[in-house]
Structure 1
Amino acid sequence: MHHFNKVLLVDDDDATNFLTELAFKNLAIANEIEMASDGLIAYEWIRQNNCPDIIFLDIRMPRMDGFDFLDNITKMNVCKQAKIVMLTSSTRAEDKAKAFTYKGVIDYLEKPLTEKTIQMIANTWFDK
């Protein structure tokens, strides 16, 4: 299974971040796990750091939502190699359709993220 150098979790829900981080730690497949409580914090983090291998991105967040975050990193022309998984509680078909209009988005999943789902993502998108 693929070992991630850096994972970025972008969600304003502390419980979701905790569970996602715990799943990655239980699998022991990430060197670094960074968390941002909204898109603006994630955007600033990306401007100051190397891009992660994968970003798990919520849609509905204060200050800068997931789509605004995607718009901003697209405009900045950064993190083109990072894969993005929308991890959200939104079941709106229009949100899912919009998410896949962004080049880096590889999947659209409902919360919470499980170890099994992480393994599926690693095997499908990284171990080629």
Structure 2
Amino acid sequence: MKPPNDDAVPTAQGRSNMTPGSRPILVVEDDTLDAEMIEEALLEVGAERPVERVEDGAEAVDFLFRRNRYAGRSDDLPILVLLDIKMPRMDGFEVLRVIRESDSTRQVPVVILTSSSEDQDIAECRTLGANAYVVKPSDARGFADTVRTVGEFWTKLNELPAHDY
């Protein structure tokens, strides 16, 4: 799938009414329980950002490029995408490919958060430009701790450019 025409995708560049913390974290996760645990862990770490959740890769692309049911959403790009790779309709590899091929989304940080520890999956995600690859622990406590660590790093410790991407 090719990225939409970049000219048709509004960005937050040049907006003067952006408030700190307003850009969302996008969670792309088809498992409802995992998604709820991710959202809860992000709240616990005080990410202070809205968390948007979509259930598959096709919906993620619609969200990012403001298409279909997301056509009227704010044009703020996510500060972070937490992306599963094993999903229906469009897998995480294809979503990552679309994100990195588009000028408007190329700089959005993408962290793969998946149950797969396969070397081939890790290598492909790195080749496609993932910022990090994190394997979901199988136990609930470990999973929550991992998400809190990822959330804290990307929302509190990591420095992003002063301008919007």
With the shorter chain as reference, the TM-score category is 0.7 to 0.9
Closer/same/farther in 2, CA of residues 58 and 20 from structure 1, 3 Å limit: same
Residue 116 (structure 2) pairs with residue 90 (structure 1):
yes
Which 10-residue stretch deviates more, 10-19 or 105-114? 105-114
- Partner residue of 2:8? none
Letter in 1 for 2:63: W
TM-score by length of 1: 0.85
Checking the alignment, whether the CA contact within 8 Å between 2:24 and 2:79 is kept in structure 1 is yes
Which 10-residue stretch deviates more, 110-119 or 84-93? 110-119
Please give the alpha-carbon distance, in whole angstroms, between the structure 2 residues aligned to 1:80 and 1:73: 6
Checking the alignment, whether the CA contact within 8 Å between 1:5 and 1:30 is kept in structure 2 is no
- Partner residue of 1:106? 131
Whose radius of gyration is greater, 1 or 2?
Answer: 2
Q: Aligned match of 2:78 in 52, 59, 69? A: 52
Checking the alignment, whether the CA contact within 8 Å between 1:40 and 1:64 is kept in structure 2 is yes
Please give the alpha-carbon distance, in whole angstroms, between the structure 1 residues aligned to 2:99 and 2:85: 15
Count of residues in Structure 1 that have an aligned counterpart in Structure 2: 126
Checking the alignment, whether the CA contact within 8 Å between 2:47 and 2:156 is kept in structure 1 is no
- Partner residue of 2:88? 62
Letter in 2 for 1:38: D
Please give the alpha-carbon distance, in whole angstroms, between the structure 2 residues aligned to 1:11 and 1:47: 18
Which 10-residue stretch deviates more, 84-93 or 94-103? 94-103
Displacement of 1:75 in angstroms is 3.5
Closer/same/farther in 2, CA of residues 90 and 4 from structure 1, 3 Å limit: farther
Cα RMSD over matched residues? 2.2
- For structure 2, the residue ranges without an aligned partner over 5 or more in a row are 1-20, 67-74, 137-142
SS in 2 for 1:45: helix
Write 1 or 2 for the structure with the bigger share of strand.
Answer: 1
Displacement of 1:5 in angstroms is 2.8
Please give the alpha-carbon distance, in whole angstroms, between the structure 2 residues aligned to 1:127 and 1:63: 31
Displacement of 1:116 in angstroms is 2.8
- Partner residue of 1:120? 153
- For structure 1, the residue ranges without an aligned partner over 5 or more in a row are none
Displacement of 1:27 in angstroms is 2.0
Q: Aligned match of 1:11 in 29, 37, 56? A: 29
Letter in 1 for 2:133: Y
| 1:18-37 matched pairs, under 5 angstroms | 18-37=36-55
